Homo-oligomer: A and B are copies of this chain.
Amino acid sequence: MAAARRPYHHGNLRRTLLDAAVEVIEEVGPAQMSLREVSRRAGVSNAAPTHHFGDKPGLLTALATEGYRLLAAALAQARQHLDDFVEVGVAYVNFALSHRAHFEVMFRPELYHRDDRELLASQRAAAEHLYEPAAAQLGESTSHRRDPGIAAWSLAHGLATLILNGNLEPDTAKDAERLARRIGRLLVDHPLQR
């Protein structure tokens, strides 16, 4: 009997390559990911990725774009269901931890084509979901329009990267969602005695 014959055409290679890339990036980081390793995992030849993505930065551009889209969707959902800007931050941290590879690529723009149109659009969409709830809740405290958004983004982004880099004690980082919520509430709810 013939072994299960692999068809010449894959059918879904683009998706398969992206998934393989995510796997590799989770193991070695985005900078050390190689197209050859990705091809190996996808079970295709070296040259196959070029066909779908043009070059290596092209593949990473696709991943970053996908990442920003997923992030925007996650933040939008948090806004809708919870209507609380701390929860949007919590959603941001959750996204970073559950999509580590995407997240790491997104914030290494030197690795991809930062001027790609679809990428820029997805970036903008994600940013708005951070800026708007923050401005709604903190806008009255400042004359600098963008500051609330920057503050929220900084806090969520900083916490996410510190956890991902292993800079916090392991037990602290374990229940990341609860930690994120406490941190948000701590800075936002408690007026300080000075």
Contact = CB atoms under 8 A, between A and B. Distances in A.
Interface in A135-169: 137-138, 140-142, 144, 146-148, 150-151, 153-159, 161-162, 165-169
Contacts of A183: 147, 150-151, 154
Contacts of A29: 31, 110
Each complex incorporates copies of this chain amounting to 2
Q: For chain A, what secondary structure do more than half of its interface residues adopt (helix, strand, loop), or is it mixed?
A: helix
A108 B63 CA distance: 21
B137 A182 contact: no
Contact of A150 (B138, B156, B168): B168
Interface of A: 28-29, 31-32, 107-110, 137-138, 140-142, 144, 146-148, 150-151, 153-159, 161-162, 165-169, 172, 179, 182-183, 186-194
